[in-house]
Amino acid sequence: MEEQHKAVALISGGLDSMLAVKVLQEQGIEVEGINFYTGFCVEGHTHAIRNKDKDKQKRNNALWVAEQLGIKLHIVDVIQEYKDVLLNPKHGYGANMNPCLDCKIFMVNKAVEWVKENHKNGFDFIITGEVIGQRPMSQRKQTMPIVAAESGADDILLRPLCAKNLPATKPELEGWVDREKLHDFSGRSRKPQMALAKKYGFTDYASPAGGCCFLTDKNYSDKLVDLWKGRGSREYEMDDIMLLKVGRHLRPKGEYKLIIARDAGESKYLEGYRKQYTSIQATSHNGPLALIDGDIDPEDYSHAASIVARYGQGRDADEVEVLVSIPNQEKQNLKVQPLSSEQVLEDWHI
């Protein structure tokens, strides 16, 4: 009997990788999916922290895609390793802090390792949903061979959606896959993908506007750069990148910033950080919970509290009582006058 060749697919949760898998399944190829969690991935659930998004569908798109396709999905935590990709991208950043080309190389390289580990189970090539010209940085004709070469995947990396525009890879040359039945998509248009989705009966798929992660978001990138600047170092931990997704961020002084919840859902989420961060919340009025990130001078507590009070129901009161909770220290009660909206300076907002 002919040997069965299996592929591992990079699954982002978007339509393209979903289609790439389906194209190969149509040829009778068994596929399993792999999804990398960098910490920056766009997740419905982090939006779900906020009240207003409560009704939004809570699903992990990569899992959803895998279920639609009937394939196994391995989710891999790459948070630590990804730091080096983000901090030192050889090929630089895209429009924001997104190191897309290095990111792709990194992920394909991880898939190469996975194939080596699982070769005994019949896995011998990798597929991605990449399309030439689809993304300005990472998916261009010139970058396709760079990803293949620098990831170490070389000719075992197949892109079913644009394979016909690229030199034949091993799975095609060896006849495991019929090149004729692959596609020749190129350019930024989404029409070919949408037509193919229709043919396969895929509806309700996710279509993230920017990319697969928060690093393509200007606002998020600004907050990340501010965090590094404020600390004087580009180190970050998982908690940092999570907190960048929550609340309004204000930096009234270089040494510290305030993370102020925008609604009850966010206040509840920030509660979980009270053991690690100094927090401020009004006690005389309803108001948001705020965390202080950085080295605040205790003399600045009042000022910070008057900013936080501005965002609660006591904003028009002459005086608001607040509680400052410092981890492992006595709590402090303060009375402050909330700042007016003009006093909260525009350039404090990150």
Partner 1 sequence: MRYELDARRMLCPMPVIKAQNKIKDLAVGDILDIFCTDPGALNDIPAWARINGHVVLETSEQDGDIVVTVQVNE
CB nearer partner 1, residue 195 or residue 238:
238
272 binds, among partner 1, ligand SF4, none (CB under 5 to 8 A by kind): partner 1
User: From residue 188 to residue 227, what is the string marking binding to partner 1 with x (rule CB under 8 A)?
Assistant: ----------------------------------------
The tokens of 192 are what?
A: 């070919």
| Among the listed residues 99, 129, 287, 338, the single contact to ligand SF4 using CB under 6 A | 99
CB nearer partner 1, residue 95 or residue 238:
238
| Among the listed residues 59, 83, 179, 248, the single contact to partner 1 using CB under 8 A | 59
Distance CA 82, CA 75 (A): 14
Distance CA 261, CA 185 (A): 44
Q: Does 138 bind ligand SF4 (CB under 6 A)?
A: yes
Q: Is 198 exposed, middle or buried (0-12, 13-18, 19+ CB in 10 A)?
A: exposed
Helix (H, G, I), strand (E, B) or coil at 274: coil
Q: Does 272 bind partner 1 (CB under 8 A)?
A: yes
CB nearer ligand SF4, residue 95 or residue 345:
95
Write phi, then psi, for 314 (nearest 5 degrees).
-90, 15
| Among the listed residues 35, 96, 216, 221, the single contact to ligand SF4 using CB under 6 A | 216
What single string gives the DSSP state of each residue in 38-77? Answer: -S-B--HHHHTTSGGGTTS----HHHHHHHHHT--EEEEE
Three-class DSSP labels, 208-242: CCCCCEHHHCHHHHHHHHHHHHHHCCCCCCHHHHH
User: From residue 17 to residue 46, what is the string marking binding to partner 1 with x (rule CB under 8 A)?
Assistant: --------------------x---x-xxxx
Binding stretches for partner 1 (CB under 8 A):
37, 41, 43-46, 48, 58-60, 62-64, 66-67, 71-77, 242, 272
